[in-house]
Amino acid sequence: MSKVPIPADEAERLQALASYELMGTLPETDFDEIARIASEICQMPIALVTLVGEKHQWFKGHHGTDIKQTPREIAFCSYTIMEPDKPHVVPDTRLDDRFMGNPLLESPLNVYFYAGVPLVNPEGYPLGTLCIIDQKPNQLNERQLSTLQALANTVAQMFELRRKMKHLEMAKKKLEDTNREVAEMSYVLSHDLKSPLNSIVSLLEVLRDENGSQMDESGQELLEMLHESASNLSSITKGTIQYFNTTRSLAQTQERVNMHELMMQLLSLIRPPAWAHIHYPPDMPDITTSRVALQHILVNLLSNAIKYCDKDICHVHIAFSEKPDSYQFSVTDNGPGIEPSHQAKVFRMFQTLGRADRHGQQGTGLGLAIAKRMVEKMGGNIGISLPQEGGTRFTFTLSKLAVQEL
């Protein structure tokens, strides 16, 4: 067995790998699913998402084996990362001088066929590979090899997205005390997260359209799960951008608002199902406020009340009152209620109560955070109470004074 080669820029590569904080972490379902899809498409029993460290090769995702790592000196992937721009295929490892005497050729893996595609980060460093293994000599056709490359690109994008999210979280903590969160976080999200997320969603759609028919039902379900996860992340990213940008544009323009017309528009937007009834005072007066912001707040509260109602018939009541310096609205539903210990939590970004809505979907934890931010930028406040008859009541005020500077 020949000595394992080391890339010329190994120090920089290892530094790049460390920045992702993935080495030594537990396998994860998303990467296990990609490994399984690779296995099914290539019709081979073992597939791995590997990270090549200084002394060990770590399996972040695997299918067909429970082995978590191997020493780097026997890792086939050590050869793959030497040429980051192309796949590395060994049709019969027993005939390759580089692997003579390699213990991986023996039980339990019996690696007689190997194909790996480098996982290359944006700086050009190969962090590891997406590889497939067979226990007999084999080959890949063009379609299988191109699909393996597409899956490897998806894994690299997922790694990068995680790194960006961690950087974003660190930036958010620093920005909480500095008032610079809007400009800097919006910039990071717009330019660093949207592009890789769109790429992931597009790649998965291509895989589904071009290779879905080649998979069995289980493989198709796994591919759909990955697509759904990527789409959810994309929704969270778009919602976060909206959190920092939308309130600025929506809350600044005040106008005279006909509340009866506004309620008609809300019902048209929400389109409540037949089992949901929204009640509101027919004689609400005209008010002066930001029409679009008020509409956004009410749409969020009404939609949540309907989605999370656990009764056969959902009733949502809107109340309105006017004070010398503010308008007050309340939205009361007959749903499951929100415990006092959880009431502050629901207004925080990405915080949910872990409840699925009537359709089994989990929320992103952004809607109420955006509503709260809008209310506060309009000089008001929002809170939650529990009516004696049950359900939840959201009450918010809007100042009649000029909109605060953002």
Say if pTM beats, i.e. exceeds, 0.85.
Answer: no
CATH architecture, range 255-399: 2-Layer Sandwich (3.30)
Residue 390 CB partners (closer than 8 Å, separation 6+): 334, 337
Whole-number Cα distances in Å, 144 to 42, 43, 206, 207: 6, 9, 14, 11
In this prediction, residue 306 carries a pLDDT of 92
- 114: nearest Cα among 145, 92, 129: 92
Q: Spell out, as residue ranges, where the chain has pLDDT lower than 50.
A: 179, 183, 187, 251, 403-406
- Report CA-CA distances (Å) from 197 to 29, 192, 194: 18, 9, 5
pLDDT of residue 254: 77
What are the structural domain ranges in the chain? 10-245, 255-399
Cα 378 from chain centroid (whole Å)? 30
Furthest CA-CA distance within the chain = 88
| CATH superfamily membership of 10-245 | GAF domain (3.30.450.40)
* Each residue's pLDDT tens digit, 133-180: 999 999 999 999 999 999 999 999 999 998 988 888 877 776 555 545
> What does the pLDDT read at residue 393?
95
- pLDDT of the residue at 262: 92
Antiparallel, parallel or unpaired: β 326-333 and 382-385: unpaired
